[in-house]
Amino acid sequence: MATKIYHDSDADLNILKGKKIAVIGYGNQGRAQALCLHDSGLDVVVGARRNGESWGQASSDGLKVAEIPAAVKGADVVMVLLPDEVQPGVYKQQIAPNLKEGAALEFAHGFAITFKCIAPPAKNDVIMVAPKSPGRMVRQTYLEGFGVPSLIAVQQDATGKAKQVALALAKGLGSTKAGVLETDFREEATSDLFGEQAVLCGGVTALIEAGFETLVKAGYKPEIAYFEVLHELKLIVDLIQAGGMMHMWDSVSNTAEFGGLTRRDAVINDESKKAMKKILEDINSGKFAKEWSEEWKVDLKNMKRLEKEESEKQVEAVGKDIRALFERK
């Protein structure tokens, strides 16, 4: 059965007209979504720390701002757009005591609900609208008159209108122009984590670093290695995103295509796939969520150590120097 894709005609923005929407968190996604919803004619208030950086930014952007408890109080939709590690504490201390019965609690990622970091009341809708793009592109695409694709999910439908509210929010972001797919919180959370860890963030950076180190250790200039395994990566990804794998193969040289198709299994092989399977098992079992939650308790100490190690690698230093050469004066 083909997956249904929702568009503008499937969503009614009027469901949210006259409703108070509280956006909690004004970072990458929070700012983009708050501005898009505001420009779609909705009543948006940003919840932030008084006199904090987010407070000043939201105010200068022309949005209403209030401290989180005041923003949540009386809100018909509360959008929790804080980092995963911050959500449980803020929810318990500032959102839950002020959450109106029947209000929709909305997330852009399924982690907190899937792994029970937050347990919403039974009398509230729990929904998700997850744009498949960084916040910057959510906003830029909206301003261009279009939108980025989004996923929606309903975890709890206390009012009988949860899905309608989710679709209306997606429309307010411009996503129904591009297309909206329905999922559930667990599927979104676990697939998203897997994609980040095995491919998009973890897998790609490990592949780049391994390729760079292989060339440099073999005597190649670091600058040449950087161009070959990192700089050109965006060109290849852009081709794949524009038209799929075959579009990329059709766009590169026959030498690149033959070499890639005949040699890639030496790098991504059965052992690699076993490791990917283990990553997915750790996500689905909750092992990763437990490890990540424990990291919150030590103020991300291990992650900060790994960040420092990453920043000191040769490929980072070489890349910084090369990118500086292309800066427009």
Q: Which residues are catalytic?
A: 109
Residue 48, burial from CB neighbour count under 10 angstroms (0-12, 13-18, 19+): buried
Rg (CA), the chain: 22
Dihedral sign for Cα atoms in the order 297, 299, 302, 307: positive
Question: What 8-state DSSP symbol labels residue 210?
Answer: H
Owner of token pair 């679709």: 167
Other Cβ atoms closer than 10 A to 14: 9
Structure tokens at 56: 């000043």
Contact 182, 151 (CB under 8 A): yes
Question: d(Cα 233, Cα 264) in Å, to the nearest integer?
Answer: 15
Question: d(Cα 167, Cα 181) in Å, to the nearest integer?
Answer: 10
Question: What 8-state DSSP symbol labels residue 99?
Answer: P
Dihedral sign for Cα atoms in the order 95, 304, 288, 193: positive
Question: d(Cα 99, Cα 101) in Å, to the nearest integer?
Answer: 6
Dihedral sign for Cα atoms in the order 296, 297, 301, 302: negative
Three-state DSSP state, 48: coil
Structure tokens at 54: 């987010």
Closest CA to 82 of 54, 43, 50, 101: 54
